[in-house]
Amino acid sequence: MIKTLLSGDLPRSRLLSGLLVLILATLAAAPLLFPGAQAINTAAKICVFVVLVASYDLLLGYTGIVSFAHTMFYGLGGYGVGLALYSWGPTWASALAGLTIALFAGLALAFLIGLFSLRVRAIFFAMVTLAVASAFAILAAQLSSFTGGEDGRSFRIPELLRADALIELPFVGPITGRTITYYVVFLSALASFLGALRIVNSPFGRVLQAIRENDFRAEALGYRTIFYRTSANCLAAGMAVFAGALNSLWFRYTGPDTTLSFAIMLDILLMVVIGGMGTMYGAVIGATLFIVAQNYLQKLMGAAAKSTEALPLLPHLLHPDRWLLWLGVLFVLSVYFFPTGIVGKLRQG
Amino acid sequence: MSRPVLETKGLTIRFGGHVAVDSVSAAFHAGTLTAIVGPNGAGKTTYFNLISGQLSATAGSVLIDGVEVTNFGAARRARSGIGRAFQLTNLFPNLTVHENVRLAVQARAGGGANIFSRWDSRRDWIKQADRFIEAANLTDKHATAAMALPHGDKRKLEVAIMMALEPHVFMFDEPTAGMSVDDVPVILDLIKKLKAGGDKTILLVEHKMEVVKSLADRILVLHNGRLVADGDPAKVIGSTVVQAAYLGIPAGRRRPGEAPHG
């Protein structure tokens, strides 16, 4: 049963299995465990990023394609659902319509980018994605009457999902719409992740790996590499659109800084690399670690700075404003010591 | 004679001013093993690349079963029945031996685009892959990553991948190059078995003359990109053009006991 759900691709490390079960259990029980808004926001963000990072791993880790346009697709999903709810009212129909439009737009864009530039050298593809993504981000910021410009758009979500909605469930008691929204996000993320795991462990997924390993040989076996690369690009884009939609649903806001910025693209890259490229489980580990660090490292450092107040220099280094510096140090160390990522390291035993 | 399985007509490729393969016309029939020999730089591998589609010809054409495939890419030619084992080992380094062969079985079966089923649920593909791995004497290493294999095993895997494609035309490019004495017979046995089937079209680039003599039904000699001899092994090997091509000196001035080699 578990083997079928995981498509036969088991974690293959006790520690890794333990970590994954811990993360899954914590995320599943998050609304019960943490009453605070920050904790539940962090949990939801982890769910969204697991999907986003897993889709990027499909591209980078499995197919060997370096793309910088992943946030564009993420943004398409975010804006698609966000603007639909904003303009057409907070109904399920408009959310679904927004998602559908964003999915089609994302797939079309991914298909075009793939078809025109995946034939040529990898560096060229990376540059094209960078250019298209930048253009898209500028467009989103400039079309302010439509997208809300730099400020983005806040919107209302369907009634059932709002914080003031109270639903009586048998055996459980009353739960708020916020909790329902969380479980929508959590279960969608879980399903998407298992879907991605199935894709990479399908015959198609093995061809992607073959292309990553030796595209020349894959071609000589009769696999049209352009078809497989473009398909992978479209699948990853579709998943990123979906992640963006989940993000909008949870935060009830969409804007360039939360979905389209290059900083997020870098975060995604870091999460894939820290977790372990080409492992899928690396997406879970990488996203969880990174987002927890992003949200709690500052607090931790604040406390550390306070406790070392008496010492010279140290409190300055530990000042919460320096959290990015320490994150950078952690990143350099992790890449140096775990070149295959945390999952790769754990699997080595 | 029946229609050739593979045919090249005036096949030519130019790199700048250099003509690497110069108007080579030859037809290859089922049940024949043709050895292609010639000194280094004669254009043997380039000729192979033109046939299997890694390079596109400047002029001339390639026909498979009478169908012109000159404008097809490598993938489409592979699907038309051209199988290629490369001279420089060309594997999927981080995948296991089994996965390497399995990808060829899957390519042949045409199931690569399936994203829903599980890779490990196709027992028939697994069995087929295991059969080819066994034939190449690699069964005990089926779970080893290709990059971790010793050179001889890599060469065997290279051949096993092509075998698993079950093509109409088998193209071996120096299959025993750099192999240890123990490993060579495994590859030669594979080729012999293939040949014994009697219906396969086999092309073999090989430098070792004793191998060529023992296997070939026909020899093509390339020299400076041109086809200089084509025919029965015994006659071709003894011919003066061949000795001239190999040694760069007119035949007859060759010192006694010196064997032609690459």
User: How much is the CA Rg of chain B, to the nearest whole Å?
Assistant: 19
- The residues that bridge with B170 in the sheet, in sequence order, are B83, B202
How would residue B260 be classed by pLDDT, with cut points 50, 70 and 90?
very low
What are the tokens at B8? 């090249």
* B75–A223 CB contact, under 8 Å: yes
* pLDDT at position A338: 87
Angle at B9 between CA B7 and CA B11, to 5 degrees: 110
Residue pair A124/A135 in contact by the 8 Å Cβ criterion: no
DSSP codes of every residue in A78-123: HHHHHHHHHHH-S-HHHHHHHHHHHHHHHHHHHHHHHHHHSSS-HH
- The residues that bridge with B259 in the sheet, in sequence order, are none
* pLDDT at position A171: 75
Which tens digits make up the pLDDT trace of B30-66?
999 999 998 888 999 999 999 999 999 999 999 999 9
Residue A269: CB atoms within 10 A of its CB come to 18
Q: How many CA atoms lie within 13 A of A343 on its CB side?
A: 26
Residue pair B83/B170 in contact by the 8 Å Cβ criterion: yes
* DSSP conformational letter for A183: H
Residues B205 and B38: their CA atoms lie apart, in Å, by 9
> Number of residue pairs across A and B with CB atoms under 8 Å?
101
Which tens digits make up the pLDDT trace of B76-135?
999 999 999 998 889 999 999 999 999 999 999 987 788 888 888 889 999 999 999 999
Q: With 70 as the cut, is the pLDDT of residue B259 above it?
A: no
CA distance B156 to chain A (A): 16
Extract the runs of DSSP E, i.e. beta strands, from B52-180: 59-64, 67-68, 82-85, 169-173
Q: With 50 as the cut, is the pLDDT of residue B256 above it?
A: no
Q: With 50 as the cut, is the pLDDT of residue B257 above it?
A: no
- Cβ neighbors of A312 (< 8 A, separation 6 or more) are none
Angle at A269 between CA A263 and CA A275, to 5 degrees: 130
* pLDDT at position B11: 96
ipTM metric: 0.88
**Which chain B residue's Cα is nearest to A227?**
B113
* A203–B114 CB contact, under 8 Å: yes
For chain A, which residues make up each domain, given as ranges? 2-348
Find where tokens 């050298």 sit: A121
Residue pair B136/B190 in contact by the 8 Å Cβ criterion: yes
Residue pair B38/B56 in contact by the 8 Å Cβ criterion: no
**Lowest model confidence (mean pLDDT) among A210-214, B3-7, B177-181:** B177-181
How would residue B179 be classed by pLDDT, with cut points 50, 70 and 90?
confident
* A221–B95 CB contact, under 8 Å: no
Residue pair B243/B251 in contact by the 8 Å Cβ criterion: yes
For chain B, which residues make up each domain, given as ranges? 1-72+202-254+258-262
Architecture label for domain A2-348: Orthogonal Bundle (1.10)
What are the tokens at A297? 């490292």
Chain B interface with A: residues with Cβ < 8 Å: 52, 54, 73-76, 78-79, 84, 86, 90-95, 99, 102-104, 106-108, 111-122, 161, 165
For domain B1-72+202-254+258-262, the question of CATH label 3.40.50.300 is answered with yes
**Lowest model confidence (mean pLDDT) among A107-116, A122-131, B167-176, B241-250:** B241-250
Residue pair B68/B9 in contact by the 8 Å Cβ criterion: no
- Cβ neighbors of A37 (< 8 A, separation 6 or more) are none
* A216–B54 CB contact, under 8 Å: yes
* B119–A224 CB contact, under 8 Å: no
* pLDDT at position B252: 45
Nearest to B246 by CA among B26, B44, B76: B44
Pairing label, strands A173-176, A166-169: antiparallel
Residue pair A180/A161 in contact by the 8 Å Cβ criterion: yes
**Which chain B residue's Cα is nearest to A231?**
B113
* B93–A213 CB contact, under 8 Å: yes
* Exposure string over B158-196, b if 16+ CB within 10 A, otherwise e: bbbbbbbbbbbbbbbbbbbbebeeebbebbbebbeebbe
Could you report the average pLDDT of every consecutive run of 10 residues in chain A (349 residues)? 86 93 96 89 97 97 94 97 95 95 97 84 88 94 91 90 81 84 96 96 95 94 94 97 97 92 92 93 95 87 84 82 83 86 87
Coil vs helix vs strand at B68: strand
